[in-house]
Structure 1
């Protein structure tokens, strides 16, 4: 990787892949972008094995190593990245919540409407409004007859599923919040561990 470094403070102003032709002249940087004010008098091109973390222009190349020049910028970008990842986790939790469960061999939807219906039926059994079996539609469109005990088992399994989704979200959010840098944040696999 090629980095264009400001001679004044070591700040990285441009990054290019190794195969890029970087032509720094006395007047400007000409390739692969044109940048006036970037010249051999003010900048140098160095080969680096690893790019700096994001945001790259908050880092400087000093003594042959990357150092932080603007911690506030690093912190702001890291916090914005964490917020975006927390949002992604929230969306994954919502999807996991509605992904469905299997109870006693029956596939059961776990969307809000189904959960509300199950709660209503369990309450109706508890109040004595329903005494026999109820017709319950499966995701396939087929119907089964279920009794109070089966409906209570579905309600309990659904509640446990929802809580497991929130627990997974909590664990991931805690890991995101604790990530000290972009590399640690990127290493968090937010797609794993969902019920």
Structure 2
């Protein structure tokens, strides 16, 4: 609890107040000591910071801190939004995608495995050799032929690239914004490719689906 000593124009915490040995039976208001409202107003910390401009109020209306909103430097806001866009890209990139109604994992490990399998499928096709893999999914192993592997890898790659494209667009928009208000109007959370967290799984998954 913080108090305002209106006689000495100073703020007091409970420790300092106890050190004054104020009798509990004494009305603090009679000594000019009043509770201080330190609650902060709602604001966007990306674009603004709060500055303590002193104490205002009266014994009748109560005392509170006079908070002032101060704009962050444009360069600071721009840097924060670029970082936020990168974080959103990562979340969208590895959050999965939906292909033909099936939820597909798109984490980095799955991306790497699909790339390797698709490369081997392409090389086998050029050499006229049949290619098939037993792909492990959370539900067990699924048999994939070369075309299935390549189709799946391309779908995942398209999703990943779309995420990076969105980040690039956002960065360009952020860099072009001239003022804090313009920067805060940019929709960092919107425009990303649809993720793989479907509300309901498809009734029948394609044989290459990774759920």
Partner of 1:65 in structure 2?
A: none
Partner of 1:21 in structure 2?
A: 57
**2:52–2:65 Cα contact (<8 Å) kept:** no
Partner of 2:83 in structure 1?
A: 87
Equivalents in 2 of 1:169, 1:78: separation in Å?
Answer: 20
> What is the RMSD computed on CA atoms of the aligned residues?
3.0
Equivalents in 2 of 1:22, 1:158: separation in Å?
Answer: 64
Partner of 1:74 in structure 2?
A: none
Calculate the TM-score normalised by the size of structure 1: 0.59
Distance 1:15 1:176, change over 3 A: farther
User: Deviation at 1:124?
Assistant: 1.6
Calculate the TM-score normalised by the size of structure 2: 0.55
User: Deviation at 1:107?
Assistant: 2.2
Partner of 1:108 in structure 2?
A: 104
Partner of 1:160 in structure 2?
A: 158
User: Deviation at 1:96?
Assistant: 0.9
User: Deviation at 1:106?
Assistant: 3.1
Which of the two has higher C-alpha Rg? 2
Match of 2:141 among 137, 143, 148: 143
Ranges in structure 2 where 5+ consecutive residues have no aligned partner: 1-50, 194-211
Match of 1:122 among 96, 118, 124: 118
Match of 1:181 among 166, 179, 182: 179
Moved over 6 A (4+): none
1:27-46 aligned within 5 A = 32=64
Equivalents in 2 of 1:106, 1:137: separation in Å?
Answer: 15
Per-residue CA distance 1:44-92 (angstroms, 9 max, x = gap) = xxxxxxx77615xxxxxxxxxxxxxxxxxxxxx1101110110111111
Ranges in structure 1 where 5+ consecutive residues have no aligned partner: 1-12, 24-30, 35-50, 56-76
Equivalenced residue count is 136
**2:85–2:188 Cα contact (<8 Å) kept:** yes
Higher relative contact order (CA 8 A, sep 6+): 2
